Structure 1
Amino acid sequence: MERIGDRVDLLDRVIDAVAARGLERSTFRSLATDLGISTFPLVSTFGTKEDLLATVVQHVEKRQADLARTMLDGDVLDAKLFYEFWNWCVSNVQAMNLDLEIILHQRRSRPEDQSVPHSALGQWLELWTARYRRSGYSEPHALQKATLMTAVVWGLQLDLVITGDTSRVTAAYVQLVDQILRELDAGPADSDQAKPL
């Protein structure tokens, strides 16, 4: 009988395999081959392929939310946490690729759903907005700043996944962190208040 460890261990291994293979190309058979097991443990643990992929999506979204919360939800912003997050990104490019693929998959599978509150992007947006509000920005301005920061951080992750140019993208991220920390520490200037588009 195969020894596969517990469900959490199996899920971690499955996530690594899905990240390497891609969400759309992952089947029970291909994942079992990648993991060196039969399909039986996958079926008995996760049920259907859709259930397995839903579990992967939930786990990845939770990981992103935890990373965002660690960085943005404390009383004091700590540059060290921003750099720990980026070090995780650099060390886990395949996992970031999976994060991005999941967001695109959700968007394609629900094109009529214009909301993002339950996606990883939505969680980042909520946390950035709250952080800007705590620094004295009005609600509309906090949302505009949060949208920009969410887009830039995810854009840098996408750039890293696509180009693999760690030094260039990391230099940009370091500059961004410096700007964010100065901006949040200083609070809004009168000229910074939200302008209608």
Structure 2
Amino acid sequence: MNSRQSSRGRYKEREDKVLLELLDGRPENTEGRLEKEIRVYDFLDHLGIEYKRVDHEPAFTMEVCEEIDKMLQATICKNLFLCNRQKTQFYLLMMPGDKPFKTKEITSQIGSARLSFASAEDMEKYLDIEPGAVSVMGLMNDTEHHVRLLVDEDILKGEYLGCHPCVNTSSLRMRTADVFGSYLDAVGHDMTKVVLTGEA
């Protein structure tokens, strides 16, 4: 068995099989981890929010994604960073990963003009996140509240929620009630609930 430990994450590899570990809280060794990831752990710890962590490689394959989902046993979100045509309004949409995204469903519910995907530059500017790591945790960096949070109602039904700590080399599991309760209160963001069917 060929196993190794990386400063970016803790995992074991055996041929093409990746075995992940569900860990408690923040990493003991933070060497090699980005400051914005550590800020997430500091913030959650300060709020007293409990969380589990899975470290993994950033280059996802479907197999690895499925293993992460199984390990977290939480609602895995599709997180989309959107904006209007004028790029004057920005939105973070959280929806189930297996539900198709239909723009018209959103615009009719939030009273906005046509939406499109926002740029990587705006994502980093407002959320301090790069593509592939979009997460509700990024709202802690949006101190001037440029981004409006939209949440599909199905996300709220699960007991646990899975998300990235602003980097795509780790995934967290937290209670859904903690994320949309004490966390959102602390970052000063409101949630707008939307109903998405994924139908044309």
Alignment TM-score, normalising by the size of structure 2: 0.23
Q: More helix per residue: 1 or 2?
A: 1
Structure having greater relative contact order (Cα 8 Å, sep ≥ 6): 2
Greater C-alpha radius of gyration: 1
Alignment TM-score, normalising by the size of structure 1: 0.24
Q: More strand per residue: 1 or 2?
A: 2
